Structure 1
Amino acid sequence: MRLSTVILPVDRWAEGGREVWQHAEQLGFHAAYTYDHLSWRSFRDGPWFGAVPTLTAAACATSLMRLGTLVTSPNFRHPVTLAKELITLDDVSGGRITLGIGAGGSGFDATALGQEAWTRRERTDRFAEFVPLLDRLLTEDTVTSEGTYYSAHEARNIPGCVQRPRIPFAVAATGPRGLRLAARHGQAWVTTGDPAANASGDPAASHAALARQAEGLEKACAEAGRDPSALRRVLLTGFTPDSPLTSLDAFVDYAGRHAQLGFDELVLHWPIPDSVFAADHDVFTRIATEGLAQLAG
């Protein structure tokens, strides 16, 4: 089991932002991710900084911890420009970048560029074209491709990624089409759980829904001729109807139950006071430094 954190880009770099990322590394987190949004829900009217510049700064302020997005989506990204940024970020970080990528939602990002919000089907269709093209852009020196939604004309990405053949993809998916993309292109699968089960407030229902998602991944891997054990399983916590950050024991119980489903990386939101991600920082620190050892014991 690996333990990671997600740090929302809400702090000015010179006013505590740098220290949070450095502290995460000192606590021993496997990776620190950030959301790739233009704004997000209850944080919409407060400070919010860009994901790629934040990760670039974090890469310069840390040396061991992996870094990444959780997640990037086509809502306001294009594969050609995103590939260039990711190759640069992978170079600056010395090969420590993971791209969490998903189909996106219907939130603020969906209309920020002035377009009508896409339907769920439209988001899924675009995602199905976005991921394979991005895969090519990160592995081939020159790419020309003409698609329904995304095209590239002699797009050059020399020298490519530090990590070979490219940076790893952690594909966020819950439905069959997304899980097939994860099976074909992902080095990891990411989920926040099932929205309906999460809304029920019933941890048992959430656990059962996650089990069904894991079964769907295994089916998608079988169809793709891929060993499902080749994909890491990442659970972004904070959305299921559980409370793993209330105490060390609560976390160990939560981690153990989800390890039984095959999840081998849990991602905890870095505490933000007076927000939906508020948590006792002392408890959070104990979880970060003692949680996995207690789970193994």
Structure 2
Amino acid sequence: MSLRLSTVILPYRRWHEGARSAWMRAEELGFHAAYTYDHLSWRSFRDGPWFGAIPTLTAAAAVTERLRLGTLVTSPNFRHPVQLAKELISLDDISGGRVTLGIGAGGTGFDATALGQEPWTPRERADRLAEFVPLLDRLLTEDSVSYEGHFYSAHEARNIPGCVQRPRLPFAVAATGPRGLKLAARHGQAWVTTGDPKLYETGTPEESRAAIRGQVEKLGKACAEIGRDAGTVEKTLLTGFTPDRGRPLESLDAFVDFAGRHQELGFDEIVIHWPIPDSDFAANEKVFEQIATEAVAQLS
């Protein structure tokens, strides 16, 4: 299978002041998918505009026809499986079955306290995700679900007619730890990584690739434990968080080299951020569009 190239369009612009045209342009450029972050606010964008993921994706579905759409990623920080399932089924219907749910444990950023709670520990985030994902799986595949868990409950939750995609829309599970990788192996149609965060500041590209290779191997072991072929789990790299930072977007050749090295590790999809001036995701727009239109052919 040839490598797929996708993008992330952060929801920081009003729909009619640049956001709409970006989603339409992503389809014109031939990206496999366009994702957005599912946060209430995020890092340096906290004191500026930031819009909701599901409404944004719904609007994007209305102005595109072929582009896959999704979150990278949704987390339990401010979501409940019952409410989320209803929104996802609606979005999958509106888009004609073009939705992928990226899902992960979340972190300790603004989302973690916006509802007034104390930030959860890493263990509690993992505990919640371990309950959240299987329940969401059921909610998206069964007409009626009742469940009583430690963190989440559902009482005769109805989700008729279900997803356009059968048996449900695909999950892309973001994980690097053993519990998350087990969830990816059991419930994920895809697995997502950003690399090893401990290497972001002081690591080298070579160390990063070695760490990612180790993550791929651990995913393979998690699949083997349940008798699943690891090759049936698509592997997605969300770029911008490895020691390379923005260097792969400096030129077409730089990106082809970067993507090719990660394709050799088994990745099926590389995701790059839509350029945002004066931010960590600043990039030359002409180079970005050249990468979008020419890189995949060079990597085939």
Normalising by the residue count of structure 1, what TM-score does the alignment of the two structures yield?
Answer: 0.99
Q: Which residue pairs with 1:267 in the alignment?
A: 271
Write out per-residue CA displacement over residues 11-58 of structure 1, whole angstroms, 9 at most, x where no aligned residue: 101111110000000000000000000000011111100000000000
Work out which of the residue numbers 95, 106, 109 in structure 2 matches 1:107: 109
Q: Which amino acid aligns with 1:261?
A: L
Tell me, in whole angstroms, the C-alpha distance in 2 between the residues paired with 1:87 and 1:263: 28
Where 1:200 maps in the other structure, the secondary structure is: coil
Q: Which residue pairs with 1:288 in the alignment?
A: 292
Where 1:285 maps in the other structure, the secondary structure is: helix
Superposition deviation, residue 277 in structure 1? 0.3
- The answer to whether 1:276 aligns with 2:280 is yes
Tell me, in whole angstroms, the C-alpha distance in 1 between the residues paired with 2:138 and 2:121: 26
Write out per-residue CA displacement over residues 164-222 of structure 1, whole angstroms, 9 at most, x where no aligned residue: 00000000000110000000000000000011122323111101100000000000000
Write out per-residue CA displacement over residues 254-291 of structure 1, whole angstroms, 9 at most, x where no aligned residue: 01100010011000000000111000000000000001
Q: Which residue pairs with 1:153 in the alignment?
A: 155
Work out which of the residue numbers 190, 195, 198 in structure 2 matches 1:196: 198
- The answer to whether 1:75 aligns with 2:77 is yes
Where 1:134 maps in the other structure, the secondary structure is: helix
Where 1:199 maps in the other structure, the secondary structure is: coil
Tell me, in whole angstroms, the C-alpha distance in 2 between the residues paired with 1:244 and 1:180: 31
Work out which of the residue numbers 208, 211, 217 in structure 2 matches 1:209: 211
Tell me, in whole angstroms, the C-alpha distance in 1 between the residues paired with 2:277 and 2:106: 26
After superposition, the CA RMSD in angstroms is: 0.6
Q: Which residue pairs with 1:244 in the alignment?
A: 248
Tell me, in whole angstroms, the C-alpha distance in 1 between the residues paired with 2:162 and 2:297: 38
- The answer to whether 1:171 aligns with 2:176 is no
Where 2:155 maps in the other structure, the secondary structure is: strand
Tell me, in whole angstroms, the C-alpha distance in 2 between the residues paired with 1:124 and 1:49: 26
- Gaps in structure 2 of 5+ consecutive residues: none
Where 1:99 maps in the other structure, the secondary structure is: strand
Q: Which amino acid aligns with 2:258?
A: Y
Q: Which amino acid aligns with 1:196?
A: K
Tell me, in whole angstroms, the C-alpha distance in 2 between the residues paired with 1:2 and 1:14: 29
- The answer to whether 1:225 aligns with 2:227 is yes
Work out which of the residue numbers 19, 24, 34 in structure 1 matches 2:36: 34
Where 1:244 maps in the other structure, the secondary structure is: helix
Write out per-residue CA displacement over residues 81-115 of structure 1, whole angstroms, 9 at most, x where no aligned residue: 00000000000000000000000000000000000
Tell me, in whole angstroms, the C-alpha distance in 2 between the residues paired with 1:100 and 1:199: 25
Sequence identity of aligned pairs in percent? 76
Write out per-residue CA displacement over residues 61-93 of structure 1, whole angstroms, 9 at most, x where no aligned residue: 100000000000000000000000000000000
